[in-house]
Structure 1
Amino acid sequence: MPARHRRRTSGADGESRKRILDAAEDLFAARGFDATPTAAIATRAEVPKGLVFYYFPTKESILTTLIAERPSTEPLDDVAGLAVTGEPATALVNLDAALDRGGRRAMRTILWREADTHPAAREHLRTLRAYLQNVTVEVLRASAPLTAPARVLDSCATAWVAAMLSAAHIDRFRERDDRIEDLRGVARVVTAGLGALSTP
């Protein structure tokens, strides 16, 4: 087989695999893993059902591939750029917006849906939570008006991460503006005690 033809076939194969994953991501987020038959994925991807099994021997392997290859949140390059000196609540809202821009909402929905029944989803959600905790502490430390003790920053970060994850879980039921407004209020509550509990 000529090399040119092999390259074209490889590209077509890659496109089919991507379409399968795209379809599975949309359907798993909308319906859930258990309620999505492989035939529905094939139909949405516009490929023969056999091609789905060529790339992914089981439906479970489609889910684990999505989790491995499509992170729900990309790591942030410039956390310091989100900080607003003296305005930690604003910095937290900035952090949520930056994470949302660099992430995949559908994958966050999938993680929430499947964490109870699929170990890969549960482990990824654990890893995501640890990352969010660390990055939130960093943003708070750079924004707090005074030097807050580590335990205070950690407690504030825990509350904020819970709020962000909860918002991500219910995003599919509400408008984007509602999420922003809700989180602004939570950010004010989370950071209200920073000044009082900080040490000069």
Structure 2
Amino acid sequence: MPHRRRTARTDGQARAAILDAAETLIGERGFDATSTAAVAAAAGVPKGLIFYYFPTKTDILTALLDERLPTAPLADLAPLVAPGDPATSLVNLDEALNLREHRLMRAIIWREAETHPNARGYLRRFRSHLHDATVRILQASAVSPVRPGTLRACANAWVAAMFSAAGTDRLRDLDDIARLRRDELGTVAQVVAAGMVQLG
């Protein structure tokens, strides 16, 4: 067979195929249970090509974290702000991020962060960015000025609620149980917004 000349396009396609396969397999099996041979087979590439792009298996996880998940959630928050309605603004943030549907994100939250420092580091950074975004959403949608400490406390509660909903849905999916209704998280948003007004 003639030697196939490698180009930037074929390189990019092979690398993307490897990451696609790794994302699917890690989401289904977990990182430790996913071999590089399985990733190569699923991607339809020689196993050696995996190590060309990713010298270690951990480098695959790092690439997925860096490239397939947001480093900072939603740079432009303005479209999510409902002036005078913090509860709706919080729900808009949750729907825009869609943590409950992102399989790899849910796997990181509930599985990989326990054993892999890279995943823990990513999760800490993401949670910090999400907390800051929530503070800004609450501040922009509040009817009147709110103390910084109150904003931070309410943001902590909302971020915890979003992560909890994503984790609960993952567990329900594993057991084929109906997910929590969206309006249940909306009720939590109303509680957070009411607490913000009360505490000022």
- TM-score normalized with structure 2 length: 0.85
Name the residue aligned to 2:196: 194
RMSD over aligned CA atoms reads: 2.4
Q: Tell me the amino acid that sits aligned with residue 154 of structure 1.
A: R
Q: Tell me the amino acid that sits aligned with residue 141 of structure 2.
A: S
Give the number of aligned pairs.
Answer: 192
Identity of aligned residues (%): 52
Name the residue aligned to 1:29: 27
The 5 Å alignment of 1:7-46 reads: 9-46=7-44
- TM-score normalized with structure 1 length: 0.85
Name the residue aligned to 1:147: 145
8 A Cα contact 1:25 1:107, kept in partner: yes
**Superposed displacement of residue 143, structure 1:** 1.4
Q: Tell me the amino acid that sits aligned with residue 102 of structure 2.
A: R
8 A Cα contact 1:87 1:144, kept in partner: yes
1:151–1:168 CA distance, 2 compared to 1 (3 A): same
1:111–1:124 CA distance, 2 compared to 1 (3 A): same
Name the residue aligned to 2:102: 105
**Superposed displacement of residue 171, structure 1:** 3.6
Distance in 1, matches of 2:179 and 2:106, equals 18
**5+ long unaligned stretches in structure 2:** none
8 A Cα contact 2:169 2:179, kept in partner: no
8 A Cα contact 1:171 1:179, kept in partner: no
Q: Tell me the amino acid that sits aligned with residue 106 of structure 2.
A: T
Equivalent residue in structure 2 for 1:124, among 114, 122, 125: 122
Q: Tell me the amino acid that sits aligned with residue 108 of structure 1.
A: M
**5+ long unaligned stretches in structure 1:** none
8 A Cα contact 2:25 2:39, kept in partner: yes
